[in-house]
Structure 1
Amino acid sequence: MNFSTPEIAAWVGSFMWPFARISALVATMPLFGTDFAPMRVRLYLALALTLGIVPTLPPMPQIDALSGEGVMVIAQQLVIGVSMGFFFQLIFAGFIIGGQTIAMKIGLGFSTMVDPIAGSQVPVLGMLYTILVGLLFLAFDGHLMVFELLADSFRLLPVGTEGIGREGFWEVVAFSGRMFRIALMMAITVIASLLVVMLAFGVVTKAAPQFNIFSVGMPIFMMIGFVVITITLPDVVPHFVEEMRAALETARKVVSGIP
């Protein structure tokens, strides 16, 4: 059997270009795209997804995979995959920042441990929210929704020299503000409760100067913080579902080119 150079380049491109988009998404999506998952697992997952998706794709563009234009196509696919995974990373980062802010406010900032996902020292309370949103992501089949979005992206934005436009990048930048919105909504209840307690301590200290606020303030802050966290923890579930739905809709809008 004799194969010409254009035929070999077309076969290589038909696999390499989808693999670039899929591997970029797997490398940036929550849980699978972190240090928690070994590099070999991520590689095998990207290869498995590529082998499953490639037979369903339309014909690839007639471009030499080893030419400069072919390299540009690979770069476009990498940007598309990273952009889709970035939306979901922002959601996770918002909950993690919110948990770390709460830990600092109630005096648990000194209690840290190694986060296997972020690969750094984080407060234990931040780890609680990290584990919680990770389990929610798997329980609600978030990973399957991401893979479904990945498969649809090849229909909405086929492989070619055209990638995400300027409006799409602005959508990514605008969506990054949701990370701080999530963190603020999580921590605002604890911050407001501690502010009321601090005002009460100020009044008591003014009325009784001999009252040692430093000896009783820290335990009370921790107790109030844990009570508020216990009350508000069930609200994390609908909040996470809402934010994941927003991330899916925005990512789909970006890859489809809808303004």
Structure 2
Amino acid sequence: MIEFTSAQINAWLSFFLWPLARILAVIATAPFFSNQSVPGTVKIGLGAALTVMIAPTLPAMPDIQVGSMAGLFILAQQVLIGIGIGFVFRMIIAVIEMAGDTISMSSGLGFAAFFDPQSQGQTGVIRQFLVIIATTLFVSLNGHLLLISALADSFNSLPVSATPVSAGFSRQLVYWGGNIFKSGVHLALPVVAAMLIANMALGILTRAAPQLNLFAIGFPFTLGVAFIILLFIVPLMAGPLNNLFEQGFSELRKLLSP
């Protein structure tokens, strides 16, 4: 008859449960993995498969009961670390969404919206268009594989332990969140500047010829200018988006440094 002691069962649980918590937290927050179109069973299965592959390479787990207060503290800490890792790249997508919303509002395309199951709300078409481009580029650059590799390396730089994570972890996340939104302004700046010039030209035109109906010619004119500018800048967006992803991985290395 095969018998197992409580110490053995606790060791098996800690060996699997604590790494699984960090991995599932990353899958739940990181772009591409957290998409609402991916079924929950697939996400859990992916997390379990990654845990089975990564867990044998990890250092020894703390000798602490999983159900104790210390064990629950470790579990919560792993979830927070995983959320922090996914948050780095989720902020990049948020910046691209902000750039899309800024372009939509300045060009008069703010009314063109549809229901987005990811955000559970109305989403502008320009915003969704830029997000699709960024997600495609992220996958084509093997960003999802690099993210999984960084996740596996995080167990060496921030091992599973009862020691609280330093305050620098949260401080670095806050700094990244404030700094990354400058890139969103840079992405939207060409279209916003072009629309400002177009609106100034319309203003001068209406002062020179007051009999013109501004509402009849202004709206199609601004839409046409916006589409022409997007036609020219979209092929050039690979460079700035690639720089954003490189900044994200660089920030992730700083975040996970011991």
Q: Within the alignment, does 1:33 sit opposite 2:34 as a pair?
A: yes
In the alignment, what sits opposite 2:204? 203
In the alignment, what sits opposite 1:130? 131
**Unaligned 5+ runs, structure 1:** none
- Once residues 72 and 243 of structure 1 are traced to their aligned partners in structure 2, the CA distance between those partners, rounded to angstroms, is 34
Identity score, percent? 35
Cα distance change on mapping 1:221 and 1:44 into 2, 3 Å: same
- Once residues 61 and 236 of structure 1 are traced to their aligned partners in structure 2, the CA distance between those partners, rounded to angstroms, is 46
**Unaligned 5+ runs, structure 2:** none
Deviations 1:20-61 (A, max 9, x none): 100100111102113121111110110010011011111111
1:256 aligned counterpart, secondary structure: coil
Give, as a single letter, the amino acid of the residue that structure 1 aligns with 2:143: G
Give, as a single letter, the amino acid of the residue that structure 2 aligns with 1:222: L
Cα pair 1:34 1:118 within 8 Å, conserved: no
In the alignment, what sits opposite 1:251? 252
- Once residues 253 and 120 of structure 2 are traced to their aligned partners in structure 1, the CA distance between those partners, rounded to angstroms, is 30
TM-score, normalising length: structure 1: 0.95
| Range that drifts further, 113-122 or 189-198 | 113-122
TM-score, normalising length: structure 2: 0.95
- Once residues 26 and 195 of structure 1 are traced to their aligned partners in structure 2, the CA distance between those partners, rounded to angstroms, is 40
| Range that drifts further, 221-230 or 99-108 | 99-108
1:35 aligned counterpart, secondary structure: coil
Deviations 1:175-209 (A, max 9, x none): 11244223211211111111111111222222222
2:123 aligned counterpart, secondary structure: strand
In the alignment, what sits opposite 1:54? 55
In the alignment, what sits opposite 1:212? 213
Q: Within the alignment, does 1:21 sit opposite 2:22 as a pair?
A: yes
Give, as a single letter, the amino acid of the residue that structure 2 aligns with 1:45: L
In the alignment, what sits opposite 1:225? 226
In the alignment, what sits opposite 1:10? 11
* Count of residues paired in the alignment: 257
Cα pair 1:9 1:64 within 8 Å, conserved: yes
Which aligned runs of 4 or more in structure 1 are off by greater than 4 angstroms?
none
RMSD (Å) for aligned C-alpha atoms = 1.3
